Amino acid sequence: MEQDWAGTYTYTARVERPRTTEELQEVVRGARAVRALGTRHTFNGLADSPGVLVDLTALPDRVQVRDDGTVAVTAGTTFGALARELQRHGRALHNLGSLPHISVGGAVATGTHGSGDRAGALATAVRSFRRVGPDGEVAEVSRDDVAAQAVALGSTGVVTELVLATEPTYDVRQDVYRGAPLADVAGAFAAGDSVSAFTRWDGSADLWVKTRLPADVPDELLGAPRDPVSRDRITDEIVGNVTPQGGVPGPWHERLPHFRHDATPSNGDEVQSEFFVDRADTTDVVAALAGVADRFREHLVVGELRTVAADDLWLSMAHGRDSLAVHFTWRRTPGTLAEAVPLVTEVLAPFGARPHWGKAHPLRAAELAAVVPCLDRARELFDALDPDGVFASPSVVALGVRSGR
């Protein structure tokens, strides 16, 4: 049986690997239930299907940079491959996630993001996309429909190609400030174009500040000194393969991710959770989690705090509010899912926390409806687009994204 990227979830459905859009259409026409797989960087059963899975990475990668400043890219293409081709044409994306190894289609469908007070989730770059619908036909989604359907968890069809906005290429420097006071971290996020705060929830944080050039950077941030050395590590458990630090300038796609595109990503043997809260609550959220950290730290590899700009995408976790994204990389221990994840979920509930769709969390439809403003509206639309539930699954039904059939 096939598994997700980290080996934390085993898919129950058989996997088809169509090599052309026409082969994909035939699979959809012949199946009672279909879900799509990308690079499988999920930590739950979101992508699983009661019928068949289609592996979009089997389709040939295609990147077409257009004269109007957009780029057309196949859904199974990784951001690393897309970014390298854009750079070759002197173009760039507005942001990247921490891993360049994830597929464009999967990242968009789940609302995946990078960091930056003014930077929206990766899906905010989408201008249109093509998908294979429940009848096996290819349709194009554009204009106002993008906001409703870009982040759809694969619930309206199999996306084959996306058109994204680009901008002229730019250089970035990455500086790390070690040992900043965690309680004051809200004051750090405006220090660069993309800022991450890594912490073990022990009172201090390392601040990774990525700044577009030209720009000056301070020697201290929140009293923490800037490390002049590029250290190939995030924590003692996540060592190697990180992008250059120490203020060394480089192209956007080799600085905005945390990990190099030509190396093994992240830790691998792990579970991840992430929750989005109103950015205005940052200090209170940090205090609340710090107050219970002794109860979850034994399961934790590292935590990461990032910011995401508000957007209008219906199922984006940053919908309608500038957000703080609170990420946890967990060890694969029995206590992680049984104790640690429920604990942080409970602590964050009073802040209206929204979970990352592709990561581990215990929330279900009723709880999600209270914090995801467009959930009911999205479900009605998705059910109308796919009345026979070809792209539904027990997971998306449990989340309230689709109705049970």
Task: Please tell me the pTM assigned to this model.
Answer: 0.96
pLDDT digits (tens, 9 = 90+) for 265-277: 655 678 999 999 9
Q: Which fold has domain 172-355?
A: Alpha-Beta Plaits (3.30.70)
pLDDT at residue number 203 = 98
pLDDT at 252: 99
pLDDT in the model for residue 267: 54
How many other CB atoms are found less than 10 A from the CB of residue 245?
22
Contact 50, 397 (CB under 8 A): no
Confidence bin at 1 (pLDDT 50/70/90): confident
Domain boundaries, the chain: 60-168, 172-355
Nearest to 192 by CA among 119, 281, 279: 119
pLDDT of 314 over the 80 cut: yes
In this predicted model, what pLDDT tens digit does every residue of 25-47 receive, in sequence order? 999 999 999 999 999 988 899 99
Averaged pLDDT score across all residues of the chain: 95
Q: Which token pair is 141?
A: 């989604």
pLDDT band at 285 (very low <50, low <70, confident <90, very high): very high
DSSP 187: G
Average pLDDT, integer, range 143-147: 95
CB atoms within 10 A of CB 265: 20
Average pLDDT over residues 299-306: 97
Q: What is the structure's pLDDT at 227?
A: 95
**Beta strand pairing status for 52-55 and 14-16?**
parallel
Q: What is the pLDDT of residue 102?
A: 95
**Residue 234 confidence (pLDDT) above 80:** no
**pLDDT value at position 405?**
66
pLDDT-wise least confident of 45-54, 68-77, 319-328: 45-54
What is the model's pLDDT at position 235? 74
Question: What percent of the chain stands above pLDDT 70?
Answer: 97
What is the DSSP code string of 16-78? E--SSHHHHHHHHHT-S-EEEESS---SSSTT--SSEEEEGGGSPP-EEE-TTSEEEEETTSB
Q: Specify the 3-state DSSP secondary structure of 386.
A: coil
Q: Is the model's pLDDT at 301 over the cut of 70?
A: yes
Nearest of 271, 266, 268 to residue 299 by alpha carbon:
271
Res. 303: pLDDT tops 70? yes
DSSP state of 239: B
Query: Which CATH number applies to 60-168: 1.10.30.50, 3.30.465.10, 3.30.450.40, 3.30.365.10?
Result: 3.30.465.10
